[in-house]
Amino acid sequence: MSSRPLRILGYGPYGMWRLHGMWEITLLQAARLRGAEIEYVMCDGVFPACDMFWESTCPRGPLSCNDCQASTSELARAMHMPYHWLGRYLVPADFREAQRWSASLDDREMPRATYGEWDVGEWVRSSVYSDQRTAELDFDVECEARSYRRYLNSGLLACLGISRLLDEVRPDLLFMLNGRQSSTRVALELARRRGIRVLCHERGRMQESIRLFENGNSLSMQPYREIWRQRGEIPLLHAELEALRTLLDERAQGRNHSLAPFSPPPTGSHDGVRRQLGLRPDRPTWVLFATSFHEEGASRGSAFTQQIDWIRRSVDFAARHPEIDLVLRPHPNTQEKTASGAVQPELRAFTELAGRLPANVVIVGADAPVSSYTLIELSSVVLTYVSTIGLECACAGKAVVTACESLVSELPFVWNVTREDRYEPLLERLLEIPVGHRDPGIMCLAHRFAHGYYMQFNLPLPLVRMPTPQTGELAYASLDDLLPGRVPELDRILRVMLEGEPVCPAPTPEERARSDADERRFFGIQPDSHICARVADG
């Protein structure tokens, strides 16, 4: 076995997002203090398009790259992190070739464009959707075709430069943000093809926490399936159930989110909200939580071609069943007052729907002063696409239907739509669920998954404070504060980085031997009944 130090390559093109940059450099410095060799590489403005400057949110200006370089280099200097630039690995001929190749492509072949063995079109696709904030690219729209071409140009430059970087450094571990955005996706794919271990970091679901994704990007569902595989059969103790209940209550009140909460906290009575929305208390309320449309560009699998097709099918089903009320809740990131970028596609879609809604369907605008958590409480059935709120609905004991690959899809406490032609037959079966019903078995199993998701997969990192969801402040005075044994939460993350400790640890023999008595008391499940049979997929 080799005794040489672990060699880590940190790739940091997005250090201008200072919160992420502080997390990244803190962990790399801590790894250095534990004996690892660190190479840190940042971007020096070599890409014609990058995810720091999306057209939909923060269009690039003449000085954008200069500002980004100044910000990232200042942060690295302040945190005592040596670095060099990616441009070291590119030559003038590379820029000419990337421009020639991207310009030579027909618009329709751009999503599948390859350069040699590199699937550049696939690797940059997620960034193009975010750049244009759209669910479906239309290459007859000049700005969308231009965006894809710029990202292909940048993607090929990333392939050339990062390939040489990996050949020179020959790291044991590549450490970087998310692995899904243009050049980070390129780095992920090139490293995996060389057999290099990759660890991607992303903000956690709670304040001052991160998530780690091994050999996959931050959109990967595999870690969540692993949480269920490891924890789905492990009963929770009363203290764990109470801690999770406290967390879920905090989230409903708009606290302990890693991003600014979109939903207002619950206010007023349930009867008052029913009257406000025209919902009858004597018939079941179904709630559809839509996803921000451009998230569909993340290559998630669905039985439906587009989310809007699923929404229309749901409205048509409600029109045929006046015995239910259906509430449509657009994602908060689709309304002009709350969105993080351009929202025209979503607004057009819901405006078109609003003009032909049946009497038992109502749209509650994302900026309406109605809490999504109140809608959960009123619901009997919840329809979701990608939104993570599906987990919180299941924790409330609601019947949840997922129509797209998501956090909870395929898990046994939700109904998962696997084929488009099975959607309505599945909904027909759910018509039997009475007003306001809660299933304690669904609650129990959803809590087991939620405990693993929130309390274990989220890794606290108190060394970086979050005054706001977008800003960070270092909570340590010197690098000595990062030494082993000083901060247990940091030691845990470094064991994952340096020793390969699983992010979601396997249950101990003591955990496997637990009784489910605490869960049965907590959720009111009879001692002689099954907690929950697997729900049927659609």
Mark whether 487 and 351 lie in a shared domain: no
Per-residue pLDDT band at 530 (split at 50, 70, 90): confident
Burial class (CB in 10 A: 0-12, 13-18, 19+), 292: buried
Smallest CA-to-CA distance from 424 within 353, 318, 350, 327 is with 318
Both structure tokens of 416? 């998962």
Mark whether 305 and 220 lie in a shared domain: no
CA distance 67 to 45: 10
Q: How many CB atoms lie within 10 A of CB 536?
A: 10
CA distance 394 to 397: 5
Mark whether 339 and 193 lie in a shared domain: no
Asked if 53 and 341 count as a contact pair (C-beta separation under 8 A), the reply is no
Mark whether 299 and 376 lie in a shared domain: yes
Judge whether 95 lies within some domain: no
Mark whether 215 and 304 lie in a shared domain: no
Q: Which residue has the tokens 């089903």?
A: 317
Q: Which range among 195-204, 251-260, 400-409, 467-476 has the greatest average pLDDT?
A: 195-204
pLDDT recorded at residue 447:
97
pLDDT recorded at residue 536:
56
What b-and-e string marks burial along 99-128, b requiring 16 or more CB atoms within 10 Å of the CB? eeebeebeeeebeebebeebbbbbbbbbbb
Mark whether 447 and 463 lie in a shared domain: no
β-bridge partners, 156? none
Q: Give the chain's domain count.
A: 2
pLDDT recorded at residue 332:
73
Judge whether 121 lies within some domain: no
pLDDT tens digits along 223-265? 999 999 999 999 999 999 999 999 999 999 999 988 888 788 9
Mark whether 365 and 468 lie in a shared domain: no
Find the CATH number of the domain harbouring 198.
Answer: 3.40.50
Mark whether 305 and 212 lie in a shared domain: no
Write out the H or E segment, with its range, that includes residue 240.
helix 238-252
Mark whether 476 and 337 lie in a shared domain: no
Q: Which residue has the tokens 């179904």?
A: 286
Mean pLDDT on 263-291: 92
* Residue ranges making up the domain that contains 363: 236-454
Judge whether 128 lies within some domain: no
pLDDT recorded at residue 351:
79
pLDDT recorded at residue 538:
64
Mark whether 191 and 294 lie in a shared domain: no
Both structure tokens of 309? 């097709």
Burial class (CB in 10 A: 0-12, 13-18, 19+), 215: middle
Mark whether 438 and 387 lie in a shared domain: yes
Judge whether 170 lies within some domain: yes
pLDDT tens digits along 388-397? 899 999 999 9
Mark whether 422 and 274 lie in a shared domain: yes
Judge whether 491 lies within some domain: yes
pLDDT tens digits along 329-380? 988 766 555 454 445 566 677 778 888 899 999 999 877 889 999 999 999 9
Judge whether 119 lies within some domain: no
Judge whether 462 lies within some domain: yes
pLDDT recorded at residue 1:
46
Find the CATH number of the domain harbouring 411.
Answer: 3.40.50.2000
Per-residue pLDDT band at 527 (split at 50, 70, 90): confident
pLDDT recorded at residue 365:
84
Judge whether 104 lies within some domain: no
535 pLDDT exceeds 60? yes
Q: How many CB atoms lie within 10 A of CB 238?
A: 12
